[in-house]
Amino acid sequence: MTNPFHLAIPVSDLDKAAAFYENVIGCKRGREAKHWIDFDLFGHQLVCHYVETPSSYHSNPVDGDDVPVPHFGVILNIDEFDVLAKRLIEANQSFIIEPRIRFKGKSGEQRTMFLKDPSNNAIEFKAFANLDNLFKS
């Protein structure tokens, strides 16, 4: 698989979500924090974010950013990410989170950027220097 997908979804109970994805589906748990857990969903990155009440927009703090939930995205290689970021900037695209490095110096270090499509769907593009670190803590 060249470009595994990344999907973040809202959940009302992280413990129940973890039990389901780990024990029922068989996902391996990756990084986690108080309000979110990463799962390896057949080589793709699924992130369950706790939200108290349903609404059309949620967010959680992740490494200093206010990350929109739900969002979806594609994991690119570094060169693809840089080309896309440059193209979006040159097109005067508005970002929810401008291109930046997250988890700097950690095994999960990644480039990331968020924007919305014309229908207000939040999209994240990210890239890892080493894709082998996609699910490492």
pLDDT digits over 71-104, tens only? 888 898 999 999 999 999 999 999 999 999 999 9
Model confidence over 50-60: pLDDT tens digits? 988 766 678 89
Beta strands in 1-137 (DSSP E): 5-11, 28-33, 36-41, 44-50, 58-62, 65-69, 71-76, 95-102, 110-116, 122-127
In this prediction, residues 11-39 reach a mean pLDDT of 92
Q: What is the CATH number of domain 5-133?
A: 3.10.180.10
Contact (CB, 8 A) for 48 and 37? yes
Domain boundary assignment for the chain: 5-133
Instruction: Estimate to the nearest angstrom the gap between the alpha carbon of 57 and the chain centroid.
Output: 15
Query: What predicted TM-score, i.e. pTM, was given to this entire model?
Result: 0.70
pLDDT at residue 26 tops 90: no
